[in-house]
Structure 1
Amino acid sequence: MVEVLERAPAGKTVEVGAREAYYTICPVFVASNVAQEFGWIEEEFNKIGAKLSYLRALAPEQGYLPHFGHQLDHLFRDGGNIPSIWAKADVTDTTLIALTAGHHGGQIVVRADSDINRVGDLKGRRFGLYKSQNSDKVDWWRATGARGILVALKLAGLQRSDVEIVDAPAEDRGFGNASRPSELWSQRRREDLVYTAEVRLLEEGKVDAVYTSHGRGQTLERTGKYKVIEDFSRYPDWTLQVANSPYALTVNSDFARNNRDIVVAFLKATVRAARWINANREAAATVLNRVTYHQTPADTAAAIEATDFLPNLSAQNLAGLDIQKKFLVDHGYVKRDFDSRKWADASYLEEALR
């Protein structure tokens, strides 16, 4: 059963073996989610005498905050790049070993009974914006929403000063004690993942619009109570799809230097899963639906249609990472800037691909 932590920072020490690595994966479209569901990461680890453990199997006070800040010496983290950037900038030394592009930049949602039909109609109106009450971690969802709102306004010829931003406070409670990601997410209602604090404000009529992700927006529309008035994925401009993406696979640097074979093993399993997903979209959608936000496997299959799951450190993905990083630095979500090219080390992935 998933245990919920009301409010507590990481306080207990986690004993980690010399050849043991923990992993944590966000509920997003990355190949490692499939690799761990099939046991392929553990299979690769067994070949080299290493042990794989799931971070979120720990109690919340031990496993929740390290998911965002990498405060565990032997940790692989795959998923949204905002926590990964924050961890590298302000928390601990990590190495970027792979990226996966995202293809859905998000949507702007309003109530279906409103007279708002396009973003231009929001001039003088109110945007709800999530605000975490947990000061021990980066507010990644607020950062994602804040950038999404600014992108939408710019596309509509509006400025930040043309709208009012209304904060939507959220407890941001930790949770854990799950054996694997699919258990972690299956024991949380999908409605809880969709009806975030700012959506509740929209539901109550306290704001006029919110930014949300594609899967959440789709679910909201199907209730008949909401409508999407802007969808960034309809634009050919790939920079508009940067929304806590491209997804970043990172590992603590000292661990990577001292355990190269373990890092390569993790990537080998991820590459194997990526190739399988790319060749078996419908079957893969069933697996990915267990660990992501879309309502059905068919929704997931449609959402991943354009995604190349083979991780890389391409110039375009690194450029996308820099777009996200610049926003975080410029708006105070991270304190220190750094060179993404020096953060990235392609040698591990190159070895895994041989």
Structure 2
Amino acid sequence: MTIQNAISQIWYTRCPVPTPVGLASQLGLLEETFAREGIALRSIIDSKDRDVRSSHFTHHLDYSFRHGGNVPPIRARSEGNPTRLVGITWTDEFQAIITLSGSGIETTRDLVGRRFGVPRRPPGIVDFMATTALKGLVSALSLEGLGPHEVDIVDIAIQGSVLDDREGPQLYGLRNRQAYGPEIAALLRGEVDAIYVKGTPGISVANLFATRTVTEFGFHPDPKIRINSGSPRILTVDERLAEDRPDLVARLLETLQRAGAWAESHPDEVRRFVAREVGASEEVVASANGPDLHRHLGIGLEPELVDAIGHYKDFLYAWGFLAADFDIGDWVDRRPWALLETRAVA
């Protein structure tokens, strides 16, 4: 009982993308769940302390959980940060290779020998933008029996850190900068011939500049083609929370299940809530995530979901983005799910 009463706050963070954590937060379910335990929720990404904000990527804070893109938590685990993988959500989204009209690139095969732009951030934080673009390229090329060695990969330098670039007049009052700006600029300057984009920002920027879609594969029937940094997204908790209070992790999962169940019968509200979460219009959300978005905000830990994360982890390791390899099975923690099952039986 002493341990249970020792926790007065829990840190949490989520990416600005469709997730059951984002939905549960907007519905007030998260605060309600933890308030019943006398626990305050604190947002990592909204903290004024840069070291706290960095936990969005490094997952170093005790008593914290994270739901979003899978590259940072996979990287953190490879560096030895003690975390547990407790849930997975698969929400498909627009993924495409785009080019400018007049580039002469009509199909994926036309990418052979052409320049493909890959964003590269300065050292310090795992380069999730580069990993995402490269996996998108590999997926697209594989559909035509091609490999990345047949394309000229060109680095696009991204200045600054996402940890620091969160306020100031250059954001015009918004919370985040529009994604794919440097990549589109390189495309317009003629420094590269094609780039990868995804999700709501990908749809928006492709529309804004009237680009040509070379190939779109975000809803491809083969899951290994769709797998990328956001497909699927993962829920991780730090080791202390997992070990000291597995009951709280179970309550978190139960709350996210409630949010997912609510979503299935509220498609219009879900689209509206997600639009608010990602900073886009409902029309863009519908285009980027498809008409069945409300049916894909659940959470689970089924073998096929774990295998998908393992597949992407292997890609990251093969391309040199991980400090070390590790076993996905050792990362997975099914104990909170067992607690939920016990409650259901009781």
TM class, shorter-length: 0.7 to 0.9
Check conservation: 2:204, 2:284, Cα contact below 8 A: no
Distance change in 2, residues 1:74/1:67 (3 Å): same
Q: CA deviation at 1:232?
A: 0.8
2:324 alignment counterpart? 336
Residue 81 of structure 2 is aligned to residue 92 of structure 1: yes
Q: Tell me, in whole angstroms, the C-alpha distance in 2 between the residues paired with 1:63 and 1:153.
A: 39
Q: CA deviation at 1:62?
A: 2.4
Q: CA deviation at 1:175?
A: 4.0
Distance change in 2, residues 1:344/1:24 (3 Å): same
Q: Return the letter of the residue paired with 1:241.
A: R
Q: CA deviation at 1:212?
A: 1.1
Residue 174 of structure 2 is aligned to residue 187 of structure 1: yes
> Which segment is superposed worse, 205-214 or 98-107?
98-107
2:339 alignment counterpart? 351
Aligned to 1:305, which of 267, 284, 291? Answer: 291
Q: CA deviation at 1:346?
A: 2.1
Q: CA deviation at 1:196?
A: 3.4
In percent, how many aligned pairs have the same letter? 27
Aligned to 1:317, which of 278, 292, 305? Answer: 305
The Cα offsets for residues 316-336 of structure 1, whole Å up to 9 and x where unpaired, read as 111110110001111110122
Check conservation: 1:32, 1:78, Cα contact below 8 A: yes
Q: CA deviation at 1:147?
A: 1.3
1:254 alignment counterpart? 240
Q: Tell me, in whole angstroms, the C-alpha distance in 2 between the residues paired with 1:340 and 1:42.
A: 31
Q: Return the letter of the residue paired with 1:197.
A: P
Q: Return the letter of the residue paired with 2:232.
A: P
Aligned to 2:115, which of 111, 126, 130? Answer: 126
SS of 1:211's equivalent in the other structure is: strand
Aligned to 1:238, which of 219, 223, 239? Answer: 223
Check conservation: 1:125, 1:208, Cα contact below 8 A: yes
TM-score, normalised via structure 2 length? 0.88
Q: CA deviation at 1:153?
A: 1.9
Q: Return the letter of the residue paired with 1:37.
A: Q
Distance change in 2, residues 1:127/1:50 (3 Å): same
Distance change in 2, residues 1:156/1:92 (3 Å): same
Q: CA deviation at 1:166?
A: 0.9
Distance change in 2, residues 1:127/1:348 (3 Å): same
Q: CA deviation at 1:350?
A: 4.4
Q: Return the letter of the residue paired with 2:255.
A: A
Aligned length: 329
Q: Tell me, in whole angstroms, the C-alpha distance in 2 between the residues paired with 1:60 and 1:334.
A: 26
Q: Return the letter of the residue paired with 2:18.
A: F
1:164 alignment counterpart? 152
SS of 2:131's equivalent in the other structure is: helix
2:32 alignment counterpart? 43
Check conservation: 1:35, 1:41, Cα contact below 8 A: yes
Check conservation: 1:57, 1:177, Cα contact below 8 A: no
SS of 2:299's equivalent in the other structure is: coil
Residue 266 of structure 2 is aligned to residue 280 of structure 1: yes
Q: Tell me, in whole angstroms, the C-alpha distance in 2 between the residues paired with 1:137 and 1:233.
A: 26
Q: Return the letter of the residue paired with 2:178.
A: L
1:292 alignment counterpart? 278
SS of 2:178's equivalent in the other structure is: helix
Listed as ranges, the matches of 1:64-75 within 5 Å are 64-75=53-64
The Cα offsets for residues 213-239 of structure 1, whole Å up to 9 and x where unpaired, read as 142332133225312110113531111
Q: CA deviation at 1:44?
A: 0.5
Check conservation: 1:21, 1:75, Cα contact below 8 A: yes
Distance change in 2, residues 1:177/1:209 (3 Å): closer
Q: Return the letter of the residue paired with 2:150.
A: D
Residue 206 of structure 2 is aligned to residue 221 of structure 1: yes
Q: CA deviation at 1:208?
A: 0.3
Distance change in 2, residues 1:64/1:199 (3 Å): farther
Aligned to 2:67, which of 78, 101, 106? Answer: 78
Q: CA deviation at 1:253?
A: 1.1
Q: CA deviation at 1:117?
A: 1.1
Q: Tell me, in whole angstroms, the C-alpha distance in 2 between the residues paired with 1:304 and 1:264.
A: 30
> Which segment is superposed worse, 259-268 or 146-155?
259-268
Q: Return the letter of the residue paired with 2:329.
A: R
Q: Tell me, in whole angstroms, the C-alpha distance in 2 between the residues paired with 1:110 and 1:176.
A: 28
Q: Tell me, in whole angstroms, the C-alpha distance in 2 between the residues paired with 1:155 and 1:124.
A: 17
Check conservation: 1:34, 1:287, Cα contact below 8 A: yes
> After TM superposition, where is structure 1 displaced by more than 6 Å over at least 4 residues in a row?
none
Q: Tell me, in whole angstroms, the C-alpha distance in 2 between the residues paired with 1:272 and 1:304.
A: 22
SS of 2:276's equivalent in the other structure is: coil
Check conservation: 2:203, 2:284, Cα contact below 8 A: no
> Which segment is superposed worse, 151-160 or 328-337?
151-160
The Cα offsets for residues 285-322 of structure 1, whole Å up to 9 and x where unpaired, read as 101111226x3213324515345222000111111101
The Cα offsets for residues 5-27 of structure 1, whole Å up to 9 and x where unpaired, read as xxxxxxxxxxxx73311000012
Check conservation: 1:58, 1:176, Cα contact below 8 A: no
Unmatched 5+ residue regions in structure 2? Answer: 1-5
